[in-house]
Amino acid sequence: MDPMTTTYDLSTTPLREVNAALHAPRLSGEFLLTNPAGAHNVAVGLDAPVRVAIEGHVGYYAAGMNKQAEIIIDGNAGTGVAENMMSGSVWVKGNASQSAGATAHGGLLVIEGNAAARCGISMKGVDIVVGGDVGHMSAFMAQAGRLVIRGDAGEALGDSIYEARLYVRGDIASLGADCVAKEMRAEHHEELARLLKAAGYEDDDTAAYTRYGSARQLYHFHVDNSSVY
């Protein structure tokens, strides 16, 4: 460990005190949080170019609203990890519960394991790379950004999707409303390769992935469908 790293033991230091320290003005440096023991709201609302490593499992909304910071969770994450992230990166070494990256506007979220239901729900510009599988309703109402799934996807993937792009290597239980397979052009192979490299999966063959996106039928008015609006 870097001798300049500031360490907080969450078994002895209250989380409120730790989060307050991480919100200090003009914050810089590296931080290590030990013994989180599944605590909720760990390292939320950061807005500084710092590196925060968390040793252990975290509960709900870890790294939520992140801006600028690089946050590494060496364990599993509960509901809503990196929810509403604006920039920076959040890296989960284990699995993530439901709604990972929900409503996130930017930055990079990497989940090395599996992600549960609603991964990337209403994502608004974030890039999400999942090393394993995702659960049902992932990318529901996804508006912008990219979701890469190296494993399989559950039911209703991309339901009511807008302009987010989904790349899936494995099988899909079912596609949601208005989500369809799309052509993988050269620019999509290049984009996918960049995302995979950023997440440490540069050896993946982009030709093994299928791109999915919006058929653009739901969010345009069609007079023939007026009875169902």
Give residue-wise pLDDT tens across range 119-141. 999 999 999 999 999 999 999 99
Phi, psi of 187 (to 5 degrees): -65, -25
Report whether 85 contacts 106 (CB < 8 A). yes
Region 148-163 average pLDDT = 97
Which one, of 96, 143, 94, lies nearest residue 117 by Cα? 96
Check: pTM over 0.85? Answer yes or no.
yes
State the CB neighbour count (10 A cutoff) for residue 42: 29
